[in-house]
């Protein structure tokens, strides 16, 4: 297993992460990481299955900042 998380900040402020299968040794840490991101940024999040074992997480901040 790769135990890898890819994170991208989209132009609208959405935090997007993509993971492959996370091994049992790191699974709890990964869940804690996503929980921390959710608590610190507020807003809604969703989890999508990308395949048999892969997951896609997105977190959207409640505040949308617009430039003048």
| Higher-confidence position of 65 and 34 | 34
What is the pTM for the complete model shown?
A: 0.62
Question: Degrees (nearest 5) of the Cα angle 10, 48, 60?
Answer: 35
Sheet holding 55-60, edge to edge: 5-9, 15-19, 55-60, 44-49
Q: For the chain, which residues make up each domain, given as ranges?
A: 5-60
pLDDT tens sequence across 29-54: 988 988 888 888 887 777 777 766 55
Chain-centre distance for alpha carbon 8:
9
Q: What pLDDT, on a 0 to 100 scale, did the predictor assign at position 25?
A: 92
| pLDDT interval class at 55 (50, 70, 90) | low
| Higher-confidence position of 63 and 40 | 40
Q: What pLDDT, on a 0 to 100 scale, did the predictor assign at position 60?
A: 58
Count of positions (residues) in the chain: 68
């Amino acid at each position: 297993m790769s135990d890898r998380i890819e994170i991208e900040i989209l132009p609208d402020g959405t935090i997007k992460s993509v993971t492959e299968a996370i091994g049992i040794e790191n699974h709890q840490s990964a869940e804690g990481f996503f929980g921390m991101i959710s608590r610190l940024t507020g807003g809604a999040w969703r989890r999508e299955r990308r395949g048999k074992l892969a997951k896609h997480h997105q977190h959207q901040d409640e505040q949308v900042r617009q430039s003048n």
